[in-house]
Structure 1
Amino acid sequence: MSKMTTKRLLPCLIFTTLFSVASSANQTAESNLHDQANSDRLVKAVSDIEENARPVTESKTEIKVNPGKYFSYYHLQYLLNTEHYKINQDYGFNAGGQFEVLVPKEHFPIAAPNCNRDIIIRMPWSSIVNDKKALYEQLLSKQQNTLVTLELNPYVKVISEQPLQLALTYCNVFFRHKAGNYYDQL
C-alpha cells in the first residue's frame, strides 16, 4: 500500500470483491451469501465516504497538494486548540519520537465517515527526536494553541478535484515528516 494511493487501491478492492463474488458461483449457497455480504459492506463504505465528504473550502483549511513520483501528497496546517485535543498518555513518548494526539472528529476539518470518535494524529518514528520532543512537551503543557503541519496520506480519498473534496478512509493522519524529522511547513 505504500506506493498506491487510496484512489488507486479502492478500484482494486472493488474489482477483487466483485471477482470473488462472480467466481463463487460453484460454491455453496452459504459461501455465496458470505461473499455478497462482504460486497454489500464494501459498497456501503464507499457510499458513506462519498456522502460524508465535505469541500475543504467549507472548513477554510488550506490543503497543499504536493506531487510525488507515484501519487500526490496532501498536507495541511491545523491549529490544535487546547480544548479540542488530548495526548494519548497510554502511548506516551516512545523511542524514535513517536506519540499520538487525539482530536474529536467533529473538530477536524476533513470528513472521516468511518471513524467513530477521534482522529489520531501520529508522529512517525525516526532517529531524530529533539524537535519531536519539544513539540510533544508543548502539546502536553496545553499552555497555548499550536499550529502543526499534517500529512493526510495514505488514508485519504479524493472525492473531487475541483473544488477539492477529501475524506479520510481511516482515523489516522500523521505529523508531516521529511528527512527523518518533523517538518513544520506545507
Structure 2
Amino acid sequence: MGYVRTAGMSTAARRARRRAAMVIVGLLAVLGLALLVALATMQGWFGLGDGETDESQTTVAVPTPTLEAEDVVVNVFNSTGTAGLAGRASDGLTARGFTVDGVDNSDADIEGPGQILHGASGAEAAQLLADALPQEVELVQDEREDESLDLVLGEAWEDLPAAEDTDAEQTGEER
C-alpha cells in the first residue's frame, strides 16, 4: 500500500472547498461593511466631507438679483376682448422702469390674470417681472434663445395701479 486514502474527499478538494467558502464569506463581509457605511452616511452619523460642521453644510446662500427693471425687455399681448388693455399694462410697466418693446393682441386663451413666457436665459428677468406685478401670473418657459419676455394678459387681468401707489404701499406710507 503506497498511500492511504482518506475517507471521502481528497485533500486538494477539501482545500478548494475551504478556499471558496472563505472567498464568499469575505465578499459578504465587504458588502455588509459597504452597506453599513452607506446607511451611516445617509442617517448623518458621519459625513465624507472636508471636516466642516453640520451648521455650514445647511447654510444656503440666496443669490443676489443681478437685474434691474430697466434691463428687462417685455412684449405685452392682450388675449382678451377688452380694447386697450395691453396699452394700459405697457404704460404701467414703463412707469415701473421696464422696457416695453411691443404691444399687440394675441389669440391665446388665458383664463387667469396672465402668463409670462420666457426662455431659459430669461428666467431671472421673468421672476423680476412677476414680482413687480400685483397679481400672480404664471411663468411659462418656452424654447426662445434670447432674454426677451412676453406678458400675455388673460381674462382675470386687472389694470396695474399707478406706480406712485405701489411705491407708497411698499414703503408703508398713507396717501
TM-score by length of 1: 0.23
Larger strand fraction of residues: 1
Q: Please identify the structure whose Cα radius of gyration is greater.
A: 2
TM-score by length of 2: 0.24
Larger helix fraction of residues: 2
Higher relative contact order (CA 8 A, sep 6+): 1
